[in-house]
Every structure is written in C-alpha cells, then in structure tokens.
A and B are shown apart, each in its own frame.
Chain A
Amino acid sequence: MNTSANGTDTATNTATGTVSFCGLCGEPAAQDAQVVQGDTVTESERPTSDAHQSCQQRLAMEPPRYCVTCRRRMKVQVTPLGWTAECSRHERLTS
C-alpha cells in the first residue's frame, strides 16, 4: 500500500490493539499506549507531548525512520526531489 504521509499519523496495530509510534523517534505516539510488540511500555518510556511536537517540526526536514504501526526501522531512500520510506510489514510512504 502506498500512502502519502508525514510518518506521524496514528495507526492501528491489529495484533496488539490501538498503538501508534512516532515516525521520527520511534517512541509511542499515544499516551494510552500500553503494549508494543509484546513489551510493556513503562511510564518513563513514554515521550512527552512536547517531545513529539519537536519530532513534528523535525519531520519537515527529514523523512520518517520508523513505521508508525509497528516501530520497525524503515528502508528510506531520499532523492533530490522526494523520498520513500518502506516498512517490511506495513505501508510504503512517499513524499
């Protein structure tokens, strides 16, 4: 599936419930995320909303590196006029 996105959209992980990750830093995006691929997310591991505001700003200047659905690192190809980011399990993002 090709999706035009900035990598910060929320997404649903059908295996573990509704969780989503920041496309830039890979940390859970939602405050109520509890389970990430079987690992418990502790309070201290949750980024603050401020941190993700910073991520949002940085995503204007760099492509996403993490799949927002499963947190896998994506294969990212930057070209002079665009970029693609591909998760081995989920969607392919294009600029």
Chain B
Amino acid sequence: MTTQPNPRRTSTYPILETARQQVLANGEGLNESQLLEILELPDEAIPEALQLAHEVRLEHCGEDVEVEGIISIKTGGCPEDCHFCSQSGLFDSPVRGVWLDIPELVKAAKETAATGATEFCIVAAVRGPDIKLMNQIKFAIDRIKQEVDINIACSLGMLTQRQVDQLAEWGVHRYNHNLETARSYFPEVVTTHSYEERLETCNMVKAAGMELCCGALIGMGETTAQRAELASQLAALEPHEVPLNFLNPRPGTPLENQGIMDGKDALRAIAAFRLAMPRTVLRYAGGRELTLGDLGTREGLMGGINAVIVGNYLTTLGRPADADLNLLVELNMPIKELQKSL
C-alpha cells in the first residue's frame, strides 16, 4: 500500500495526466468539467484512476484510515420525504419508530471504541431536533464522555443557530449533514426542504468550529454530469469529511425500484471524489456492500478512500467489523488514533 507518489508518471488519458500534476503535485482539486472527464473514463482506465486517487490520498492525507461507528438514537417517523430513506414517516416502509435509551447508547459507544474507532456518530431521523431530543443528546454526550474515550459526532437534521452553538459547547466534535445529491437534482429527491436549507446548516456548523461531515448519496438516478456537479459543490463547501453512500433501494420508498448502481461507475465516483477533494476524509458509507461487494472494499481503500463506517448502518447491516479491520491489517493501513483526530 505504500505506493510512492510519482508526479512524472505519464498516462494515455489526458485528464489523468492533468490530475497527476494538478492534484497530486499541486494539491489543487479538479473542477466540475474535469471531474466529468474522470467519471466518463472508459472501463480500462479505472485502475489507473484509482491508483492515482490512492497516491493523492497518501500524499495529502497520509496512510491512516479513520474508523467510525454510527447509531440511530431515534429511528423512523421522520416528517421529511427524502425519497431514498426508509425512515420517512411519509412512505409505506416496514421501519417502525424506535427510540434508543441512553444506557444502550453508551454500551454501543463502548463496543464501537473497542474496535479502534475514533468517531461515534449519533443520528436521529428528524427534520431538526426539538427540545426533547436536544436534552437527550446532551445527556447522552455527558454519559459517553464520562465512560468512553471516543469523539462524538451528531447528525440531527437542520439546526438553528442556538442549537449549533449548544452542540459545539457540549463538545460535539463533528456534525453530519449531507448534501446527498447535486443542487440541480435535489428537488427530484427531496421536496420538504431545500438544498439551500441544508447548506445553511452546514455553514453554521463550520462557523461554530465543529468539523463538518457532509456527504453524498449516488446512484439515485442522477446523471453523470450531476455527479460531477455534486463533487464540485461538496469541494466548494470544504467539509472535513465526505461520507460516500451508494443507493440501497429500500422497500416502500419512491426509489425502491431504482436499480443498484453499476460497480464500475461507483469506482469512477470514488476516484473522482478524491481528485475533487485531495485533503478531505473520504469515508466509505452505506450501500458499498451491495454496489461493490467484498472486493469493492479493497478497491476503494486502494483508490482514494481513507475512512470506513465499521459494522452496521442505521437500519441495514454492514460487513462484519472484523472483516474491515482485518482488511486494514492486510493492506498495512493503520487505524487513525484518537489523539491524531483531535
């Protein structure tokens, strides 16, 4: 895995030649039109694109891989209509509403920390947190901080300025709020809130000093150009972390019949996102098992990914934690230590 960057290597694909100099050597991400060229590379160019993305990741992020666990504190019953989400209360989904109690949350945080993870993200299926949820979150943070050595992240939907300030004051290390898709495609996926409302929360989070985790969900029917648009819009936001999700079509949602994204397109996207954001934590998130299978995990980690969600997701199951952790050992990729992530 310790491939040395080589800015002078030549490529038969001009965009890869450009990226080698612009991104690898100069640290400047590709722009939208350049990203579209990456996403339109022929199949035979994918290994070279992934190799370059891997070199970029090593050069600008280092060899560490950040491991995170995520958990839902409030599942289901969300008033929003994100068309990909089984937790919307507006769709006929088999997911029932559930609240997780604090002792169980603390137990999960301990189990997550034991895997070597440095991040524990508490997620709620809400438009934005109400007073009850904020009180729960404060209590949960206090308890976890007392008992577990792990960074706490939250994902609680859209925030007010006061809520942003409170979360920062309580010691939330990172806040997740995804753009999900390109601005031009967003109205096809969500109608109950706007792209601009999402951006507003993201900007408040950054201004308050929390790390911003802002991700993508690809494979929802967007065009390749819209995928490039999304990567470019994320890069402009300069998030600390970008979780990269691939659609897992959920029963009962408007996207339940959307086909699973082609694995090669997913690999192109991984390379493109890394070449758009050379210094960002790029995390493998939901849907990778379905889209890319077991081999895809390896290809992604050798193609620009430098973080994983360990174990399960919010409502679906991931690869066994041991499988990913053993793969990191096999690839000689050290897990980022807690002190390095602070």
Contact = CB atoms under 8 A, between A and B. Distances in A.
Same complex: yes
Interface of A: 25-26, 60-63, 65-66, 73-83
A80 B104 contact: no
Contacts of B278: none
Interface stretch (B192-200, B257-265, B314-322, B332-340): B314-322
B94 A61 contact: no
A74 B70 contact: no
B70 A80 contact: yes
A77 B95 contact: no
Nearest to B120: A80
B72 interface: yes
Contact of A79 (B94, B96, B108, B290): B108
Contacts of A66: 94
B316 A81 contact: no
A62 B314 CA distance: 10
A79 B71 contact: yes
Contacts of B111: 79-81
Given A74-B96, A79-B111, A61 B316 contact: yes
Contact of A76 (B96, B104, B251, B310): B96
Most buried by B among A62, A78, A83: A78
Contacts of A60: 317
Nearest to A59: B317
A78 B70 CA distance: 10
Contacts of B311: 79-81
Contact of A77 (B104, B289, B317): B104
A31 to B, nearest CB: 22
B18 interface: no
A61 B71 contact: no
B94 A80 contact: no
A60 B100 CA distance: 23
